[in-house]
Chains A and B, each alone.
Chain A
Amino acid sequence: MPELTYREALREALREEMQRDDRVILMGEEVGSFGGSYKVSQGLVEEFGDRRIIDTPIAEEGIIGAGIGAAMTGLRPVCEIMTINFLLVGIDQLVNNAAKIPYMFNGHARVPLVVRTPSGAGHQLSCQHSQVLEVWCAYVPGMYVVAPGTPADAKGMLKTAIRDDNPILFVENVLLYNESGEVPAGEHLVPLGQAVVRRKGSDVTLVTYSRMVGVTLQAAERLAGDGIDAEVVDLRSLRPLDIETVLGSVRKTNRAAFVEEGWRSYGVGAEIAAQIQELAFDDLDHPVERIAGKEVPLPYATNLEAAATPSVDGIVERVTGMVEGRRPVAASA
């Protein structure tokens, strides 16, 4: 199986879907001759022309709104928002229009739109460019929010998302773009809304998604060296949410922690913990824990940045505590 980076896998998905369906277009800031801010669309304007690879002004509300209008009238647009931080200036279109239109108009309109955007910290991008905000959109019924954590999923889920008739926020990750992995060539479709067990284990379930999948798997290997056998579940999709896969694992291990790059309060882990205790309370031997980013804007200095971001060490320490029966402490500590 060919090895591709996460970036190349996304590009392959875009290329294949554009070759397959003339209704698919890509628009966003610098997606054309610049090749995309993170070079995902490099070479595509040469192949498909500027009719289908459309450079836009810096206008996120305009970009997403244009995607919605085009989607309602027969196209299947992919909009690239340069980073999820910039989604905030266009989020009205996503939340008030894209997520509402099919329902509010009683199924008389469809919005087959994919909004792609990278989330998470880079290297010292500091407070305004390092946020993990997909949970804001996962809160909203009416759209899907998916976040592949491997190159194979990046390709397979993007292809599925482009063929889906619902509005989808497709969350990439700044630090994953250079990560390599095996990616099936050609028609490779990964269904949305299906979690996957990345590592089998019997002592504790670690649920996570996106970049933290890799970090958590590393932590699991370290834990194995200490005699702790962790199962790692990659959610892949925040909405629709596959809670059954999570519950199946928890019923086996009787302990669960959620690992996320974003903030702990009101985060994805808060939702997962709530559902686990609602649906598998009797299976738990320990409170469901959340291992997450520290609740500060992400600072610039390398040591502060590292201290605020979930790490292999941090996960190992906390999970060891769980297995030894040490109770969690408050978030700010």
Chain B
Amino acid sequence: MVQQAEKTATKGGRPRIHESADELRHAHYLMVMIRRFEEKAFEMYTRAKIGGYCHLNIGEEAAVVGAVMPMRENDWIISYYREHGHILARGTEPAAVMAELYGRETGVAGGRGGSMHLFDAERRFLGGYGIVGGQMPLAIGTGLSSKYRQTDEVTLCFTADGATNIGSFHESMNMIGLWKLPVVMYLVNNQYGMGMAVARASAITDLWRKADGYGIPSERVDGMDFFAVKRAMEQARERAARGDGPSLVESNTYRYRGHSVADAGRSYRTAEEIQEWRERDPIGQFEKVVLEAGLLSEDDFHENELAADRVVGEAVEFADQSPQPALDTLYEHLYVADS
């Protein structure tokens, strides 16, 4: 069943749109490019070019781009295993991400991590992690470190509905709340942990309220609405950077596809439900709003689509042409030598 957001980010007198046309064009490009990238990843998985598990962000583009865009260059991002879009939104080369999915030496992790373990040190993207909730305790440490080093860095930690039921969520939330660390906990609620609907797995379905137990201010936003997400994340980031402590933002969204490419996503969801969410498509909604506001035109959208197609096409070509890692690198980076 579709859950309606009780709290929306338009409350509290937040301006609806403050972005420049260039910023909007870029946001639109990222959302379209992520969708094209994921569609291509799906295709290449079915053609056996990509192996392992492959979790897609299709349907979550506003929830992803709206959360990453407000982050500054010196902020840290920690994520989980549905993170292709997260690292792309951060600005990492799509070709290097696709090459990682292909398991090639030119991939962001040299073909050692794959889809679930993307990393970009230069952009302070500290990785995708594959154990549900296992990335969250790292955010205690990055927050502690930012504070210890007396910086204004903020950690954006992605987590998701399924992780709110595991111990690491609660240990992390408690320590982050206790020490008032500069962390924005961003909870992507795509309504299902694999095939388990939120209501079947969590004793409460207002997941944002779980932050109450840790003294962390929280809210739920409509994750299909780019502006709602971005406004909430701007405020949360600002609050953390000011030294006022952590927040949790729950973003209500939906993945159109299954849990991973191997799951059709139909045995536990109805066609009607999927259709209802598709009607609120994040890219469609964004286009409607900025068209009506007269900030971008159909031509702008079309240009972005062409650019996204080109970039994703080039990424596939790059990945296809890249070699697999050399066999004599099998033991490389297992340990740091001569430290």
Of the candidates A69, A71, A102, A141, the one whose C-beta lies within 8 Å of that of B137 is A69
Partner of A69, one of B119, B144, B171, B335: B144
B29 at the interface (CB under 8 A from A): no
B335 lies within 8 A of A101 (CB):
no
| A136 within 8 A of partner (CB) | no
Q: Does A245 contact B (CB under 8 A)?
A: no
A69 vs B124: C-alpha distance in the bound complex, in angstroms?
12
Select which of B78, B112, B167 is within 8 A of A106 by beta carbon.
B112
Q: Mark A52-67, 1 if CB is under 8 A from B, else 0.
A: 0010110101101111
Q: How far is the CB of B234 from chain A (nearest CB, A)?
A: 23
Q: A294 to B193: give the CA distance in the assembly, Å.
A: 43
Chain B, range 28-61, C-beta contacts under 8 Å to A: none
Instruction: Name the interface size band of chain B.
Output: 35 or more
For window 152-209 of A, CB contacts with B under 8 Å fall at 163-166
Asked if A72 is at the interface (CB within 8 A of a chain B CB), the reply is yes
- In the bound complex, residues from chain B placing their C-beta under 8 Å from that of A283 are none
> Is A93 within 8 A of B145, CB to CB?
no
Q: With A57-B174, A96-B134, A141-B334 in contact, do A66 and B144 touch (Cβ < 8 Å)?
A: yes
How far does the Cβ of B175 sit from chain A's closest Cβ, in whole Å? Answer: 5
A67 to B145, CA, bound (A): 9
- The reply on A291 being an interface residue by CB < 8 A is no
Q: Which residue of A57, A69, A104 contacts B112 across the interface (Cβ within 8 Å)?
A: A104
Q: B201 CB to closest chain A CB, in angstroms?
A: 19
Note all chain B residues with C-beta closer than 8 A to A37: none
CB of B137 to closest CB in A, whole Å: 2
Bound Cα distance from A56 to B332, whole angstroms: 35
Q: Say whether A165 contacts B172, CB under 8 Å.
A: no
A242 to chain B, nearest CB (A): 15
Which residue from A92, A96, A165 sits with its C-beta under 8 Å from B336?
A165
Cβ–Cβ < 8 Å partners of A69 in chain B:
78, 126, 137-145
CB-based nearest A residue for B130: A96
B121 engages A109 (CB within 8 Å) = yes
Task: Chain B residues near A109: list those with CB within 8 A.
Answer: 119, 121, 126-127
**Using a CB-CB cutoff of 8 Å, which residues 99-147 of chain B contact chain A?**
108-113, 117, 119-121, 126-127, 129-131, 134, 136-146
Q: Does A68 contact B (CB under 8 A)?
A: yes
B11 interfacial by beta-carbon distance below 8 Å? no
Q: A65-B136, A103-B334 are in contact. Are A108 and B109 (CB under 8 A)?
A: yes
Find out whether the CB atom of B334 lies under 8 angstroms from the CB atom of A70. Answer: no
Q: Which residues of A contact B336 (CB under 8 A)?
A: 102, 107, 110, 164-166
A56 to B140, CA, bound (A): 11
Contacts of B112 on A, CB cut-off 8 Å? 103-106
B121 contacts across to A, CB distance below 8 A: 105, 108-109
CA distance A18 to B43 in the complex (A): 53
What is the distance, in angstroms, from B122's C-beta to the closest C-beta of chain A? 9
Tell whether, in the assembled complex, residue A104 and residue B117 are in contact, meaning their CB atoms are under 8 Å apart: yes
* A97 is an interface residue with CB less than 8 A from chain B: yes
Q: Is there contact, CB below 8 Å, between B137 and A62?
A: yes
Asked if B142 contacts A166 (CB within 8 A), the reply is: no
Q: Is the CB of A66 within 8 A of B167?
A: no
Contact of A165 among B126, B140, B145, B339 (CB under 8 A): B339
**A73-110 toward B: CB 8 Å interface, digit per residue (1/0)?**
11101000000000001001100110001111111111
Contact call A25/B127, Cβ cutoff below 8 A: no
Once the chains bind, are A103 and B333 in contact (CB under 8 Å)?
Answer: yes
**What is the CA–CA distance of A165 and B335 in the complex, to the nearest angstrom?**
8
Residue in contact with A61 in the complex, picked from B126, B137, B178, CB distance below 8 Å: B137
Q: Which residues of B contact A107 (CB under 8 A)?
A: 110, 332-333, 336
Nearest-CB distance from A161 to chain B (Å)?
11
Tell me if A20 counts as interface (CB < 8 A to partner B): no
Q: Are A56 and B175 in contact, CB atoms less than 8 angstroms apart?
A: yes
With an 8 A cutoff between CB atoms, is A267 at the interface? no
- Asked if B165 lies at the interface with its beta carbon under 8 angstroms from chain A, I say no
Q: A69-B78, A70-B141, A92-B134 are in contact. Are A106 and B146 (CB under 8 A)?
A: no
Interface string of A131-147 (1 = CB under 8 A from B): 00000000001101000
- Which of A65, A70, A110, A142 is close to B172, meaning CB atoms less than 8 Å apart? A65
In the complex, which of the residues B139, B171, B334 contacts A59, with contact meaning CB atoms closer than 8 Å?
Answer: B171
Which one of B76, B109, B138, B146 contacts A104 once the chains associate, using CB atoms below 8 Å?
B109
Of A56, A62, A77, A106, which contacts B333 at CB under 8 A?
A: A106
The answer to whether residues A97 and B138 also contact, given A51-B148, A102-B335, A103-B333 and a CB cut-off of 8 A, is yes
- What separation, in Å, do the CA atoms of A96 and B131 have in the docked complex? 8
Q: Which residue of A lies closest to B137 (CB)?
A: A65
Nearest neighbor of B172 in chain A, beta-carbon distance: A62
Q: Is B18 interfacial (CB 8 A cutoff)?
A: no
Chain A residue numbers with a CB within 8 Å of B333 are 102-103, 106-107
CB of B149 within 8 Å of the partner chain: yes
Which residues of chain A are near B131, meaning CB under 8 Å?
A: 92, 96-97
Which residues of chain B are within 8 angstroms of A102 by Cβ–Cβ distance? Answer: 333-336
| A61 and B117 contacting across the interface, CB-CB below 8 Å | no
**Residues of the B chain whose Cβ atoms lie less than 8 Å from the Cβ of A57:** 171, 174-175, 178
List the B side residues contacting A163 at CB < 8 Å. Answer: 339
Residue in chain B with minimal CB distance to A239: B335
Chain A residue contacts of B172, Cβ below 8 A? 62, 65
Q: Let me know if B168 is at the binding interface, CB within 8 A.
A: yes
Q: Does the CB pair B138–A59 fall under 8 Å?
A: no
Closest Cβ–Cβ distance, residue A162 to chain B (whole Å): 11
Taking A96-B130, A107-B333 as given, write out 9 further A-B residue pairs in contact, using a Cβ cutoff of 8 Å, ordered by the A residue number. A65-B138, A65-B141, A68-B138, A69-B139, A70-B141, A72-B126, A74-B145, A93-B137, A102-B334
25 contacts between A and B (CB under 8 A): A25-B148, A59-B171, A62-B168, A62-B174, A64-B137, A66-B138, A68-B141, A69-B126, A70-B141, A75-B148, A93-B137, A96-B129, A96-B134, A97-B138, A101-B127, A102-B333, A102-B334, A102-B335, A102-B336, A105-B112, A109-B126, A141-B334, A165-B336, A166-B335, A166-B336
Which 4 pairs, one residue from A and one from B, show the smallest C-beta to C-beta distance? A65-B137, A69-B141, A165-B339, A107-B333
